[in-house]
Amino acid sequence: MHSLLDRKKKEAGIGFDLSPSPFPQAARMFSCVGCFWVLLSSALVAVCSFSFISPAWIVKEHLKNKDSVSFGLLWHCSESMDHMYRCYTFGGLGRFDEIPSSSWQTSAVLCSGGCALLAVSSLLAIITIFLPGGTCERRVCTLTGYMQMAAVFIMASGLLVYPFGLSSNLVKSFCGNSDIYYAGECQIGWGYMLAIVGVMLTLFLPFFAKYAPKEQMSPTPLPTLL
């Protein structure tokens, strides 16, 4: 009797086939958190690079008919009263020792090294998008998270060392009675502030690395410092 009713329902077009599909559910190709992690990593590499080459870490505006002056890690610029803007490098690839302060030399090495490490980790983050979900992807995410954590500490150390160079003779000649962590007649520029914001945002990248894998049954371990 039941078989006769089932046959009539199928003939009427109202039957449902509840048998399992012969094709498995398609695996997720992307993770929303993973995509955001990749985009944020790439953006912070750009912020890091731009702030690193910026000449506006320490700035002195026009004052008493004097030229405005700005200092960066590798550059110093001046703007005359007739708005002529000139920039010069402290050293360069072959003249690194011409950077006027050993503190600024150390800061340049630390910031450039941290930025390079962040760029490599960003490249690894992009690679994880194309990896299938599994052990390999989780291991790459773990490695990338630790690299980004290391980049945070390296760049933060460079930013902390930089103000020690305010006691150099070159800075004092423009900023007056400047000293360590005291800019005198000068002030903190947008380049240094941008670098600080970039490092603070980079601190969140290892957290996103934990949830970046497509398969969350066994999430990547978060660096113990978080």
DSSP codes, 109-126: HHHHHHHHHHHHHHHHHH
Residue 5 is encoded by which pair of tokens?
A: 């009713």
Query: What are the tens digits of pLDDT across the range 180-196?
Result: 888 888 888 899 999 99
More reliable by pLDDT, 58 or 4: 58
107 closest CA partner among 151, 74, 143, 141: 74
Q: Strands across the sheet with 58-60, in order?
A: 85-89, 75-79, 68-71, 58-60, 187-188
Tens-place pLDDT, residues 99-140: 778 888 899 899 999 999 999 999 999 998 888 877 888 899
Mean pLDDT check: name the lowest of 19-23, 88-92, 117-121, 144-148: 19-23
| Core vs surface per residue 180-202: b (16+ CB within 10 A) or e | eeebbebeebebbebbeebbeeb
Helices and strands in the chain: count of H runs, count of E runs: 7, 5
Tell me the two tokens of residue 105. 């030399």
Beta strands in 7-153 (DSSP E): 58-60, 68-71, 75-79, 85-89
Cβ atoms within 10 Å of 160's Cβ, excluding its own:
13
For the segment 7-61, what is each residue's pLDDT rounded down to a tens digit? 554 555 444 444 444 433 334 556 788 889 999 999 999 999 999 888 889 888 7
Q: Decide: helix, strand or coil at residue 82.
A: coil
Q: Can you give the pLDDT at residue 3?
A: 54
Residue 185 DSSP one-character state: T
pLDDT (0 to 100) of residue 224 = 52
Residues 6+ apart with CB under 8 A from 156: 199
Token pair of 221, please? Answer: 């371990």
Structural domains of the chain, with CATH: 30-89+101-210 (1.20.140.150)
Averaged pLDDT for residues 202-218: 80
